[in-house]
Structure formats: C-alpha cells, structure tokens
Amino acid sequence: MTGAERHGGCGPLSGAFAAELLEDAPCGIAVSDPAGRLTYVNATLSAWTGRHAAEIETIGGLFTKAGQIFYDTHMEPMLLLQGYVREISCHLRGPNGPCPVVVSAVARHDEAGAIVRCDYTLFDARERHGYESALRHAQREAEDLAAIVRNASNAILRVGEDGHVLSWNRGACTLFEEDEKSGIGKRIEDLVALQDRSSWHAEGRLQLSKGPQEELLFEARDQHETDLEISLTLAMSEPGSGTARDTVVTLRDISERKNVERHLIDLAREMNSRVSTMLDMVTGIARQSLPPEIAGEFISRISVLARTHDMLSSNRWTRVDLHSILNFALSEAGGPERFRFSGPAVSVSPQQATCLSVALNELVSNALQHGALSRPSGRVDIEYDLATGEHLCIRWSERGGPVVVAPTRAGFGARMLETVLARDCDAKVDFDFQPEGFRCRMRLPLESGI
C-alpha cells in the first residue's frame, strides 16, 4: 500500500490533509525557535491548555510553574545539548488545573549545525500518570518495609523449603558474626543448632503447614549457650501462590533477659528459703520463751503462715487454687467427715491466699476449742460461690456443737479475722451467733491482688 492509498488516494500529502493531520493530531504538537519562543501550536494542544495559540509565547509557558522550572533546569539544557528529549513527564497548565503529559522534543539544525527550531510532541498521560503514582507509592512502601527488615536488630532470614538460607538481614550477620554473603545456602539447622531440637525448622514447618497456626514462637538455647527467641512463619514464594512456601525465621538474642530471669529466680529462691528459716526461728523462740498455753496457739498461727508461704513459693507466687487452702483447713479440722466444702474452681491472689489461710486457721481453732468441732457429732460446712462474678463469697456454717452464746466482747481470733481480711483483702466479714451453730460470711473482691 502506498502513502497515497493510505490517506485516501489523494496523491502526495496534500496541504489540506497535512494541515488537518497536524491540527487534529491525537497529541499536542508545538514548534519553537532556538530560544523557546513558540512559532506553532496545534489545535489539540491549544484545546488542552484552554488558550489560543497566539496567547502562548514560550514553550515553558505551556507548563505549570513547577513544570516551567523543570523545563528550564532540565529539559531545555538536555534539548540544546543532546538535540532531543524523550518521554519527559511534566504538567500542562490546563483550564481545569494541571494536566499530566509526556513530552518528547527534537532540535532541528541547519547545515552549519546551528539549531534553527525545536519540534515538540506532547501526549496525554493522565492514565499513565495515575498508574505511575500508584507504582511509586507501592515502591516507597516496599522500600520502607525493606528498610525496616534490613535495619532490624533482630536476625531475619528467609529459608527455602529444603531448609537452606536464601537471604538474611544485617541483624543476622551480627548475630552469626558473618558477612552478608557467607550464610546464604547454609542449612538453618546447622547455623542455629538448638540444644535437644536438631530438627526444629523441619518440625516447625510441618506444624505450620498443617495450619491453622500462623506463627510458631518459642525460646531455646543453641550450641553456643545463646538463649534465643525464635519465630517461624510461612512466606509465600510468589504472591498468590498457595503451594511452594519458604519460611521466615526471626531470631532474637535474649541471653541477657534470660540471665536476668535466672538471677531473679535464684534471688526469689534465696528469699523464700530465708523467710522459711526466719519463721522456723520465730517458732523456736516462741517455744522457748512463751508459756505453753500461749505458745501452742502462736506457733500454730506461725506454722499456717509458713505452710502458706511454702505453697506460694512452690507455685512461683502466682494465683493459687482455693481448694488447696481449704484442704489445709480440712486436715486441721479432722478430715472430710467433719469438714466439707463445696464450690466452683476459683483461684485467689497470693495476698488473698495468705489472709484466707490465717482466717480459716482461726475459725478451725475456734471450732475445735469452743464450737461444733469440740463435739464428736459436730461438723463444719463451707459453701462458696462467685454469685456476682466479681466477689468471692465464703459461708462458714457450724452445726452439732454446743449451744452458741454470742460473746460479750470480740476475742483475738475474731479481731484478727476482721482486721486481716478487711485490711489486706478489702473483704467484708459478718459473724452470726445462731444458737444451733456459729456462722461466718466472708465476701472479698476477686480482682484485688495478683
């Protein structure tokens, strides 16, 4: 097909056809003299700018102010020096605001090599601009994330399905005291040889691949006695791929924290031992120096404290089951025939445990000496519940004992009960001296204390 046929068989490019082609081209076309003064602007470009061709004096004047600076400082020098510019992104000053365009230009020379004019084409780049903006945004996000990983103090490694290291960050170089390349390709289980867990990575992978767990987090020691916190997650090899998966292994050296923890445990053990020794000494001194009738009761109270202390120590001073405390009281009271309790599983804070142990000991002592447990047929029932969900309510009921007469003044036990429970546990204590049996109601907030 000849050129003539292509444009309608009207012979070589006719003046009218060429003019139409130029004026209505699907791109902006402009021509300037070597100094940038416009000598031609086509209709398309004129329409884009919303100005008549004659109103636009210079090529720089087509652009927004920022675009003008960019033209003056970048485009024009390039055009004059190298003779062309290609696909430069810029903004036209349009009637409705900036309009993204891509500019290409070429300088035309005379026979002597001097520039005689410059020809410009400008393409509408609104779609491309939107796409590139999104791309730049995504690129920045990816760079930010990469920088976070790169500079993280934790060692972060990507490990292939076969357990070999694919890449690692600076934190890993520091942890393993290796350079950036030397760890690549090594087996992660050789690099991080955990004591007693030689296949930790393979086993972790298997566990994760079965789902639904997304991360495995555990602490372990390696062959160099370094304490590590290890996190294992699965990473898609390719976005959207559901099959072949690498793992991301994050290692944090927690030796320092572990050493502090070990030191604290040693300290706590030492403190517990010293408290026990101290209570033994108090008991010994009481036995030696107090009259027998007072010493017995005093030593009993101290031994309750010592026993509770031992229980809490062995439980690492965390919350304890109320049943354990009640079982102490049960053994003091003479066994399940004489002492029964019922209620849901409840744990109490170490502070509450100590107070309740002391309180129950006082109640059992009193029942044994003066109340229901002083008679073979007498017994004690304890019921407790979490009626409101926020308070523990304990009801102590005696029956089968001698007729109860309300005391004219509160004894030491009653005073201690009220003082200890109210002061240290924010509890309310009510006594009810029914003739058929003494009753006591203790109500303490569950949240108080850890």
- The Cα–Cα gap between 193 and 152 comes to 22
Give yes or no for residue 204 binding other proteins (CB under 8 A). no
Distance in Å, CB of 156 to other proteins, minimum: 25
Contact partners, residue 243, CB within 8 Å, separation at least 6: 237
Give yes or no for residue 77 binding other proteins (CB under 8 A). yes
Give yes or no for residue 171 binding other proteins (CB under 8 A). no
Q: Choose which of 46, 56, 60, 341 interacts with other proteins (CB under 8 A).
A: 60
Q: Choose which of 23, 51, 61, 370 interacts with other proteins (CB under 8 A).
A: 61
Give yes or no for residue 87 binding other proteins (CB under 8 A). yes
Long-range contact set of residues 264-270: C-beta below 8 Å, sequence gap at least 24: 268/313, 268/316, 268/317
Contact predicate 263/169, CB 8 Å: no
- The Cα–Cα gap between 149 and 172 comes to 11
Q: Choose which of 18, 21, 84, 263 interacts with other proteins (CB under 8 A).
A: 84
Give yes or no for residue 301 binding other proteins (CB under 8 A). no
Give yes or no for residue 126 binding other proteins (CB under 8 A). no
- Determine the interface stretch with other proteins among 75-83, 225-233, 252-260, 341-349 (rule: CB under 8 A): 75-83
- Determine the interface stretch with other proteins among 130-138, 262-270, 329-337, 409-417 (rule: CB under 8 A): 130-138
* Size of interface with other proteins, in residues (CB under 8 A): 35
Give yes or no for residue 147 binding other proteins (CB under 8 A). no
Give yes or no for residue 132 binding other proteins (CB under 8 A). yes
* CB of 142 or CB of 294, closer to other proteins: 142
Give yes or no for residue 90 binding other proteins (CB under 8 A). yes
Give yes or no for residue 37 binding other proteins (CB under 8 A). yes
Q: Choose which of 83, 94, 343, 445 interacts with other proteins (CB under 8 A).
A: 83
Contact partners, residue 183, CB within 8 Å, separation at least 6: 157, 165, 168, 172, 173, 176, 191
Contact partners, residue 358, CB within 8 Å, separation at least 6: 301, 304, 305, 308, 416, 420
Give yes or no for residue 134 binding other proteins (CB under 8 A). no
Q: Choose which of 4, 21, 47, 69 interacts with other proteins (CB under 8 A).
A: 69
Distance in Å, CB of 29 to other proteins, minimum: 20
Contact predicate 201/230, CB 8 Å: no
What is each CA distance from 438 to 174, 325, 365, 410, 443, in whole angstroms? 71, 21, 13, 14, 17
- Determine the interface stretch with other proteins among 8-16, 21-29, 67-75, 401-409 (rule: CB under 8 A): 67-75
- The Cα–Cα gap between 126 and 4 comes to 34
Distance in Å, CB of 86 to other proteins, minimum: 8
Contact predicate 166/159, CB 8 Å: yes
Distance in Å, CB of 45 to other proteins, minimum: 18
- Determine the interface stretch with other proteins among 6-14, 16-24, 87-95, 190-198 (rule: CB under 8 A): 87-95
Q: Choose which of 88, 306, 311, 355 interacts with other proteins (CB under 8 A).
A: 88
CB atoms within 10 A of CB 376: 9
- The Cα–Cα gap between 75 and 68 comes to 10
Sheet containing 227-236: order of strands: 165-168, 155-159, 245-253, 227-236, 215-221
Distance in Å, CB of 28 to other proteins, minimum: 18
Give yes or no for residue 241 binding other proteins (CB under 8 A). no
Q: Choose which of 126, 136, 224, 257 interacts with other proteins (CB under 8 A).
A: 136
CB atoms within 10 A of CB 193: 14
Q: Write out the DSSP string of 71-118.
A: IIIIIHHHHHHHSEEEEEEEEEEETTEEEEEEEEEEEEE-TTS-EEEE
* CB of 78 or CB of 248, closer to other proteins: 78
Q: Write out the DSSP string of 248-273.
A: EEEEEE-HHHHHHHHHHHHHHHHHHH
Contact predicate 323/345, CB 8 Å: yes
Give yes or no for residue 194 binding other proteins (CB under 8 A). no
Residues that bind other proteins (CB under 8 A): 34-37, 58, 60-61, 64-70, 72-74, 76-78, 80-84, 87-91, 129, 132, 135-136, 139
